[in-house]
Structure 1
Amino acid sequence: MADVEGVNLNYAVALLGAGVAAVPLFTRLGLGSVLGYLAAGLLVGPFALAVVTDAQTVLHVAEIGVVLFLFIIGLEMRPRRLWTLRRAIFGLGAAQVLTCGALLTLLAVAAGFTPAVAFIGAMGFVLSSTAVIMRMLEERGTLAAESGQRSIAILLFEDLSIVPLLAIVALLASLAFGDAADARPAWLAITIAAGALAVVIAAGRWLLDPLFSILARTGAREVMTAAALLVVLGTALFMQWAGLSMAMGAFLAGVLLSESTFRHQLEADIEPFRGILLGLFFMSVGMSLDLSLVAAQWRFLLAGVILAMIVKAIGIYVVARIFGADRSESIHRTALFAQGGEFAFVLYSAALGAGVFDAETSAVMTAIVILSMALTPLVVIFVDRLPDSASIDTTGVEKAEGLRGRVLVIGFGRFAQIVTQPLLARNVDLSVIENDVEMIQAAGNFGFKVYYGDGTRLDVLHASGAHKTEAILVCVDKPDAADKIVELCKAEFPYAKLYVRAFDRGHSLRLIEAGVEYQIRETFESAVVFSREVMIGLGVDPDTADEEIAEVRRRDDERLELQLAGGITAGRWLFRNNTRTPQPEPFIKPQRPGEIINPEEPAAAPGS
């Protein structure tokens, strides 16, 4: 047998064994998988049992897990969807980074650090852990929610911030010690970063899809997997060379491939690598905590962690409230973001190399960041258990797993409750999933068996039996969620018939173009029946009222056909008494005086 000592299987077995033992235990205790990985890494690391002595090497390898994780998140973020987040990225994200950076800098100066050291230390703590936050959002099932999207926007701005911060480190070093021979001027660093972004965008737009099309024709599955890894890691490496973060490069690669016909295949190929390596990243962070330093300076470190998290939390909460977040969302965002992150290691290493930090300062700052990352799951658990917390508590609710109904119903609000009644009367075998725990519990009180599950997640759809069902009824009340479910079902379950609840005309057009079997606007039928009864109540003959309703239906069908033929889905004009009011869809010439073209339901109230 070949000598495998160079591979050091001891490390691999120790890490896998610690992770397999710790994560189920911590999850069972309600502490979450992240804290389990951190504890496992601390146990086998060089400052505890010393089974693994080279924590930094493991950390560098494990950073690939963060890279792959950001790539998968990028696959979920279409360019148009990302464009809609631009105000949150450069508005909310910038406000949070600048506010928290200023507050933490003042705190560090008050602790006795010089202004330059205080600023770099503070900005390192401002850059929250993308890996921790995204993993916890994923576990909580809030990645696709509006609050989750705002959190992603903040993380994106923090990732972008690493470029100017590294330039500032180089500038501070040049002011203190003169220009370093290998340091890029700030203008050159920004130019190279912008050029690298342009190159990656161009390659993603014109090269990646043709490349995967060619590889798909070979029929070799492993080649597709290798190509996916090559794209992710190559883009990450290229962006790191340009001065950006590897995570930003991977995210950008995912966004560029999000429109590809191969996106679901890529996600399935990357997922196993992502899960294992991301767990390894958290373990390597735990291994990096110097317990001797903690023992020697525990008072200073404890005070530093607590004060830094409190000050940052104040800044996050204030900014969240200013930008319109409610109290519950503000508190949960504060709990998630009140820690430092892995980018602090990059920034502090650069500061140490440039001479801005000395070795002791770098070690102390790094320890504070690691301790804050370890405390974050505990803080989130504490916040989740507050009496008015809006977190998802699935206690006593059965999760979707191994369902085998003839029809799968996604969403069980008022709409779905009416839809399912005649089906149940005909003894149609239904599987129903819903992500509102209170709704599930209320349905259970009336004898309905509803399972907990988020229909926008592919693994939940598989667990709900979507791959074996005859029809899928998408009855959720959020258009974005419905679109995501339709996209997944058309790609993964092409033989299942799709019946979808549409929010408005624009949503109906999107669903028709997506190829669903049937769609209906959620208030259209009730509105025309309501109108018929009003006309009869005003003395109109019932037959005449029926004719008018039939004419409304006919004109509505004609408008849909015209809009589909003209590719009209993006903008709308409403006409009222010859007054034109801009709305999201282009107009169609009115047929009668005062007629409302493209009638639109008012915005639905919260709930199904």
Structure 2
Amino acid sequence: MLVSALIYLLAAVIAVPIAKRFGLGSVLGYLIAGIIIGPSALALVGDQTEVMHFAEFGVVIMLFLVGLELQPSRLWSMRKQIVGLGGLQVVLSAGAFTALLLWTTPLVWQVSLALGLTVALSSTAIVLQSLNERGQMNTQAGTNAFSVLLFQDIAVIPILAFLPLLATFPAHIGGGDHTVNLIESLPVWQQVCVTLGAIVSIILMGRYLASPMFRIVAETRLRELFIAFALLIVIAIAVAMTSIGLSAALGTFLAGVVLAESEFRHEIEANIEPFKGLLLGLFFITVGANIDFVFLWEHVGTVVQLVAALFLIKGAVLFGLAYIFKMETRQSLLFMVALAQGGEFAFVLSSAGLQYSVFDTETASMLTIVVAISMLLAPLFFVLYEAWFSRAGQRARPQEDDEVTPTLDVIVAGYGRFGQIIGRMLISNGYDLTILDHSPSQVDLVRRFGNTVFYGDASRHDLLEAAGAHKAKLLVVGVDEADKANEIIRVAQQHFPNLKILARAVDRRHAYDIISAKVDGYRRETFDSALRLGRNALELLGETPERAQTVASLFEKYDEESLIDLAALWGDDKSYGIAVRQQIEDLQKVLARDVEELNKE
């Protein structure tokens, strides 16, 4: 097991950077790595079945994270694209491919229809990964492609349920990988009730149980426990859904949508993201390793024709739908390029087709190799698209509804007494805020007053990334721990150099650190209030309000100059001590001189 893990990781570490270096993208790098270590090349790994099942969990996690980005209102607003565009794509692609097989092969209509439905689906993993890598996810094509993929993921459920009705010969013994279905012996109406009950349960538990549980876990301040609980939710839903014959990806997607309005959304996303990337990489490697080049060589003519037919038919359907839905020409081509390949669910449906006696072994093998080759070629089409067209104007246009990718103005890290004052001022002036706080109780309290606040440690760059630091204009560091504030500033400057930073200084010594970090602005948390109280003291002692204001302004000016001068000496105890004494004397002399000049006036 350890040797296999070593081989997979080594292949990925070598192949992916090379692929990225030549502009081919990480997906193609993983696929090439799989081909190299697979049975058809170096044969460093054997049977991929168990690894594939494990790696498919990466797709499940990806759909969960996609759900976290979609609030229910946003999902509802996409219903026309999901049902209309997605539904037409599946029906037309399946119908066209079925007709082609009936016309050109001796296959019966049941097998042709099953194959047509299978190849109508696209690769969620490849499409989303490739669009995200290229910054195309929020383009017109990216949004519509996601809608189609979402419909396809939902469509897998009825397709799986429909396959047994297409059986044409006695059961295939030992074929396929039939997951235990606890409700398959029930009448159809009871299966429907259980299915609806499972979906409703996920929604209700996500809405009313998950957030309180996350709050309890977060109170422990143990990051590993938070990660464990997030993974527990994903795995539990995946197991529950597959045990009743439903799509694990759909279940976790629904859970993600429900949790999209939770204050823990960004922390969950930041903690789960690394697992998604690793497992998706493993998934692509196993797809590459599963390409049977011996079978391919024996049937090379047929495979080439079928792969070409797959791309041509799906491409024509997709381009036609893009025209009907009034997409721009370049966006139409990107939409076509993104979805023209076969998808990972084809491996599931191929296995199920064997189990339910729809396909024989040779048909299932041909289906697998055609889909795998199409997935291998898909990243190349993205590269060709980018090479052919200028990328100018292809970045995301502003969305009418900003719930998926909000246009952020400010991130406030730390929303206690200090951060709340800044936040209220900014909100009252119409600025959009993303608020991060590492205290679950504080997050809960602030949310009760109608504020949008998320739980998380802002010193982690992945959390800042999830919160939108790459798009925000300003970061306000308002935490009350000096070391934590310094770490947040360091991470933000390292990973988001264009982000402006304002910081809260806990005391004078902390101000030295912040000055050294060269942030865009800072204030000592007690200085302004002490200065105002000093003015009041002068007034109570008989000074006029004007004179008290002038003295306070002079003191603030000279103290700030002193602070900057001393910051350069902080850390050198001897020099700093001498400078402090000198600054105190100078400050007294300067203030006395200025006050004397005021008296003369």
Tell me the TM-score normalised to structure 2 length.
0.64
Task: Indicate the residue corresponding to 2:356 in structure 1.
Answer: 354
* Residue 10 (structure 1) shift: 0.9
Alpha-carbon separation, structure 1, partners of 2:355 and 2:220:
47
Alpha-carbon separation, structure 1, partners of 2:184 and 2:203:
28
Task: Indicate the residue corresponding to 1:60 in structure 2.
Answer: 53
1:322 to 1:187, Cα distance in 2 relative to 1, 3 A: farther
1:83 to 1:170, Cα distance in 2 relative to 1, 3 A: same
Confirm or deny: 8 A CA contact 1:104 1:122 kept in the other structure. yes
2:104 is the counterpart of 1:96: no
Q: Percent identity, please.
A: 39
CA RMSD of aligned residues (A): 3.1
Task: Indicate the residue corresponding to 1:534 in structure 2.
Answer: none
1:326 to 1:184, Cα distance in 2 relative to 1, 3 A: farther
* Pairing of 1:33-72 with structure 2 (within 5 A): 33-72=26-65
* Residue 389 (structure 1) shift: 6.4
Given the alignment, which residue of 155, 159, 168 partners 1:161? 155
Alpha-carbon separation, structure 2, partners of 1:364 and 1:117:
13
Q: Deviations over 1:31-77 (max 9, x none)?
A: 11100000001111122211111211111111111111111111111
Given the alignment, which residue of 7, 10, 22 partners 1:29? 22
Alpha-carbon separation, structure 2, partners of 1:493 and 1:347:
51
Q: Secondary structure at the match of 1:385?
A: helix
Q: Deviations over 1:287-326 (max 9, x none)?
A: 1111110111111101110111111110111112111212
Alpha-carbon separation, structure 1, partners of 2:250 and 2:156:
10
Task: Indicate the residue corresponding to 2:124 in structure 1.
Answer: 130
1:184 to 1:52, Cα distance in 2 relative to 1, 3 A: farther
* Residue 340 (structure 1) shift: 0.5
1:348 to 1:183, Cα distance in 2 relative to 1, 3 A: farther
Q: Which moved more, 1:237-246 or 1:19-28?
A: 237-246
Q: Which moved more, 1:32-41 or 1:164-173?
A: 164-173
Confirm or deny: 8 A CA contact 1:170 1:183 kept in the other structure. no
Confirm or deny: 8 A CA contact 1:71 1:254 kept in the other structure. yes
Task: Indicate the residue corresponding to 1:603 in structure 2.
Answer: none
* Residue 268 (structure 1) shift: 1.1
Q: Deviations over 1:193-251 (max 9, x none)?
A: 22211111111111111111111112221111100000111112222223221111221
Confirm or deny: 8 A CA contact 2:34 2:284 kept in the other structure. yes
2:43 is the counterpart of 1:86: no
Alpha-carbon separation, structure 1, partners of 2:467 and 2:13:
21
Given the alignment, which residue of 304, 317, 323 partners 1:321? 323
* Residue 124 (structure 1) shift: 0.9
Confirm or deny: 8 A CA contact 2:67 2:255 kept in the other structure. yes
Given the alignment, which residue of 280, 291, 294 partners 1:292? 294
* Pairing of 1:101-500 with structure 2 (within 5 A): 101-112=94-105, 113-173=107-167, 186-387=188-389, 458=466, 461=469
Alpha-carbon separation, structure 1, partners of 2:23 and 2:320:
29
Confirm or deny: 8 A CA contact 1:68 1:232 kept in the other structure. yes
* Residue 388 (structure 1) shift: 6.2
Aligned length: 411
Tell me the TM-score normalised to structure 1 length.
0.63
1:387 to 1:76, Cα distance in 2 relative to 1, 3 A: closer
Between the two structures, name the one with larger relative contact order (CA 8 Å, sep ≥ 6).
Answer: 2
Confirm or deny: 8 A CA contact 2:93 2:120 kept in the other structure. yes
Structure 2 gap ranges (5+): 174-182, 396-408, 412-463, 479-495, 505-601
Confirm or deny: 8 A CA contact 2:140 2:331 kept in the other structure. no
Q: Secondary structure at the match of 1:207?
A: helix
* Residue 461 (structure 1) shift: 2.5
Task: Indicate the residue corresponding to 2:70 in structure 1.
Answer: 77
Structure 1 gap ranges (5+): 1-7, 394-406, 410-455, 471-488, 498-608
